[in-house]
Amino acid sequence: MSNRPCWLTQLMLYYRPMLKQLSLITLLLFNIVACSTATPTPEPTATRPALTVDNFEPIHARYVQEFVDTEGFGMSRVISNPFFQESHPFTINHHEYNVTQLELISLLEHNPPAIYITSGRPSKDFLAHSETRPLTTVEQTLLQSIVSGQNVVITPDQNGLIMLGALRPQTACLECHDTNEQNLLGVFIYHLNTIITNTTKM
What are the phi and psi torsion angles at 72 (to 5°)? 120, -165
Q: Cβ atoms within 10 A of the Cβ of 106, count?
A: 18
pLDDT digits (tens, 9 = 90+) for 64-101: 999 888 886 677 787 777 888 787 888 988 889 999 88
More confident residue, 16 or 126: 16
Instruction: Please give the Cα distance from 136 to 119 (Å, whole number).
Output: 17
* Cα angle, residue 180 at apex, residues 67 and 171 outer, rounded to 5°: 45
Instruction: Please give the Cα distance from 17 to 12 (Å, whole number).
Output: 9
Instruction: Say if residue 43's pLDDT is above 60.
Output: no
Instruction: Say if residue 143's pLDDT is above 90.
Output: yes
More confident residue, 164 or 87: 164
33, with CB counted inside 10 A (0-12, 13-18, 19+), is: exposed
Which CATH topology does 51-193 take?
Beta-Lactamase (3.30.450)
Instruction: Please give the Cα distance from 120 to 41 (Å, whole number).
Output: 30
Domain boundaries, the chain: 51-193
Q: Which of 81, 83, 21, 92 is nearest to 55 (CA)?
A: 92
Instruction: Please give the Cα distance from 170 to 150 (Å, whole number).
Output: 16
Q: Which of 77, 82, 99, 61 is nearest to 189 (CA)?
A: 99
Give the helix/strand (H/E) hosting 137: helix 137-147
Q: What is the pLDDT of residue 86?
A: 80
pLDDT digits (tens, 9 = 90+) for 100-125: 888 999 898 888 999 987 655 555 45
More confident residue, 24 or 103: 103
Q: Which of 122, 117, 92, 123 is nearest to 105 (CA)?
A: 117
